């Protein structure tokens, strides 16, 4: 199942790049899957991790496409990781924070932590190299708003504090945004 998901995600994200870079986008979902695999051996969760951005970022992929290829559980996990792009950045991020704090299952939190840890790792590396120029890559260019979001996620991930990935996430948020 996982191998098929890697192929599916690679095709779905073909031609996409990480924001402000020439790095093929598929590197991100592969890193997320690797992080999730360090926290669980559940193949459906690892599969959902590699697919986590396809509904959000690939307009040619439908929920039904994922359902047909990977089943209900994987589809539900992927859907939980997807934002409604018709909403503003602040609305989407606020909804994500609230979802993780109040509604998300532990499994959904693990996948979300994998995603956000991969993002903050990339941000920390790039911030060290290019400083505040980093924020120009994003739809939300205000560093304080990015800090609000990444700090806000910590409470949603608190249930996962036994994982080193949680501690790494918290450390990198402090490194990038300060206390």
Catalytic residue set: 56-57
User: In 3D, which of 6, 71, 9 has the Cα closest to residue 44?
Assistant: 71
Closest CA to 127 of 154, 150, 160, 100: 150
Query: Among 24, 79, 88, which residue's Cα sits nearest to residue 51?
Result: 79
Q: For residue 31, give Cα distances in angstroms to 35, 47, 82, 136, 164.
A: 6, 12, 17, 23, 16
The H or E element containing residue 140 is: none
Pairwise CA distance, residues 90 & 88, whole Å: 5
15: Cα within 13 Å, side-chain hemisphere: 3
């Amino acid at each position: 199942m996982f191998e098929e998901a890697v192929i599916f995600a690679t095709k779905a994200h073909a031609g996409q790049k990480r924001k402000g870079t020439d790095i093929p986008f598929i590197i991100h979902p592969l890193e997320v899957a690797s992080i999730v695999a360090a926290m669980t051996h559940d193949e459906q969760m690892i599969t959902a991790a590699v697919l986590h951005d396809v509904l959000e970022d690939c307009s040619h992929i439908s929920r039904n496409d994922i359902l047909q290829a990977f089943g209900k559980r994987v589809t539900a996990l992927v859907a939980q990781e997807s934002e409604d792009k018709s909403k503003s950045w602040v609305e989407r991020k606020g909804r994500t924070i609230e979802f993780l704090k109040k509604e998300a299952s532990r499994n959904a939190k693990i996948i979300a932590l994998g995603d956000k840890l991969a993002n903050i790792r990339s941000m920390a590396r790039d911030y060290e190299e290019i400083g505040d120029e980093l924020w120009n890559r994003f739809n939300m260019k205000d560093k304080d708003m990015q800090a609000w979001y990444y700090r806000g996620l910590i409470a949603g991930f608190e249930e996962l504090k036994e994982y080193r990935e949680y501690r790494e996430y918290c450390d990198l948020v402090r490194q990038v945004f300060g206390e």
